[in-house]
Structure 1
Amino acid sequence: MKKMIVASTSTIFGSGYLEYLLPTLEKHFANVKSIVFIPFARPGGISYEKYTALAKKAFAGIHINVKGLHEFDNYKAAILKAEGIFTGGGNTFELVNQLYKQEVLASLKIAIEKGVPYLGTSAGSNICGVSMMNTNDMPIVYPPSFTTLGCIPFNINAHYLDPVKDSTHMGETRATRIKEFHVFNETPVLGLREGSWLEVNDNNITLQGKYTARVFQQNKVPFEVESGREVVV
């Protein structure tokens, strides 16, 4: 029985770290006293210690303790015994690289599928899909594989941005890059806008937040999913 929050971002404009999600997280992690935090994505190259401190401060607001995975002697056991798990954002390439290097990707999937409440933001959401191939991040390291958890049957493009009318930017839009992906790959992609998240209860996936999400499928016209509606691809 999967129980997941898959969020586009940890922070929205004018809000503190995880602040906009805290009411949802308080319900999501009800009866959870301690969370294992996976800090591998290291946004801006921040240390594991500083990143974990940031997560600790946020969760203190809902009276939940946080301990970084790097603080445990046995990473696999820590994940499999966790009451709850949070994977933070940053660089998806480095996150996936470390999950493979530390041999914990399979353990994380097992924990999620047995019902351990999971939160992912940004890179931590990218890994929930079939692969990490729709990340926006720079390939600063080369992970052994792009295959990720496969806990949802599509890929996430976090921080999805719509084309800006009259913009002078001449590069590819997010939609163009996803179209390029679909020349070679069949996996559907969900463009998840800032301030939006998915609530996953077993195989039911529902969009939450203020905005719609955009679904891209190979050789089909993209369409929008309304907030509060089930995501079916």
Structure 2
Amino acid sequence: MKLLLLSNSAAPGRSYLDHAREVIAEHLDGVTELLFVPYALADHDGYTAKVAAFMDTLGIRVRGAHTAREPRELVASAQAVFIGGGNSFRLLKSLQRHGLVDAVARRIRADGVPYMGSSAGTNMACPTLRTTNDMPIVQPVSFDTLGLVPFQINPHYLDPVPGSAHMGETREERLRQLLEENDVPVLGLREGTWLRRSHDALELGGLAAGARLFTSGAEPVEHAPGADLSPLLAAEARFDCRPD
């Protein structure tokens, strides 16, 4: 599989996707047309146009999945698939409604089509939706997602702020709660970071902030950009965050 999973699509002071321009260009090398899945936001046309404006600078045409009566037909012929960010619950419900969960996963796994996700699109690459930060504004049929990696990701990971007056759970506390019920690694991707998978190799990239790996019964482990996280893929058969 060939995956590029971004924590975020925008960075302060930069235009849309510009902070990851180089790695996106490398990931989509040889691709002339990209299938974009805009269902995480309500304005599908506007969202697709935003992606198209960026991809045009790389010489790549963009087709919105929403423009076809049967989006699965576009998936079947896609050179690459990009699922953008927004609300993960709305996104997953739409993928399920259009029969795209299995269709996209099959193209990525069986045919080696490059997959790119940002934020909610990165959540979709996990076994389930359970580590999204989003509010459940709609109810999907299940939390099962594409399962392109055998661990969970928490995009936009925020570290606890010492002295904060906020009385709700920190992100760390919420992820520790998940591990009380599930034996599955969770990678907290800070802003400006991403994961690149090529077959059985997995590398952390991006800004100096890096990522934090949570596992059951252990303290979180820090990983800097450039870290080899391939051992997480070796657990493909063992870890599964989906219900029985």
TM-score when scaled to structure 2? 0.91
Q: Is the 8 A contact 1:199 1:206 kept in 2?
A: yes
2:88 to 87, 92, 95: 92
Compare 204-213 and 134-143 and name the one that shifted more: 204-213
Letter in 2 for 1:213: A
In 2, the alpha carbon distance for the partners of 1:137 and 1:105 equals 19
Q: 3-state SS of the aligned residue for 1:180?
A: helix
Give distance in 1, aligned partners of 2:223 and 2:115. 23
Residue 133 (structure 2) aligns with: 136
- Distance in 2 (CA, whole Å) between partners of 1:73 and 1:202 is 33
**1:61 partnered with 2:60:** no
What code does the residue aligned with 1:73 have?
A: R
Structure 1 residue runs of 4 or more that deviate by more than 3 Å after TM superposition: none
Cα distance in 1 for residues equivalent to 2:68 and 2:203: 33
- Calculate the aligned-residue CA RMSD, in Å: 1.0
Distance 1:130 1:186 in 2: 13
Match of 1:148 in 2: 145
1:79-133 deviation per Cα after TM superposition (whole angstroms, max 9, x unaligned): 1210111100000001111111111100100111121111100000001011110
Contact 1:80 1:110 in 2 (8 A): no
Distance, in Å, in 2 between the alignment partners of 1:212 and 1:70 is 34
State the secondary structure of the residue aligned to 1:177.
helix
Deviation for aligned residue 1:74: 2.3
Report the CA distance between 1:5 and its aligned residue: 0.4
- Which residue of the other structure, out of 211, 219, 225, is the alignment partner of 2:223? 225
Match of 1:171 among 168, 173, 176: 168
Overall identity of the aligned pairs, in %: 38
Contact 2:210 2:225 in 1 (8 A): yes
CA deviation vs aligned residue, 1:26-85 (integer Å, no higher than 9, x gap): 11111111000000100xx4x100110111111111111101001123211211210111
Whether the aligned pair in 1 keeps the contact of 2:70 and 2:98 (CA below 8 Å) is: no
Query: What SS does structure 2 have at the residue aligned with 1:153?
Result: coil
Q: Partner letter of residue 75 of structure 1?
A: P
Q: Distance in 2 between matches of 1:94 and 1:115?
A: 27
Aligned equivalents of 1:189, 1:104: Cα separation in 2: 25
- Deviation, 1:171, is 1.0
Q: Which residue of 1 aligns with 2:239?
A: none
Cα shift at 1:218: 1.2
1:101 to 97, 100, 105: 97
- Unpaired segments ≥5 residues, structure 1: none
Name 1:214's counterpart in structure 2.
Answer: 212
The alignment of Structure 1 onto Structure 2 pairs a total of residues equal to 229
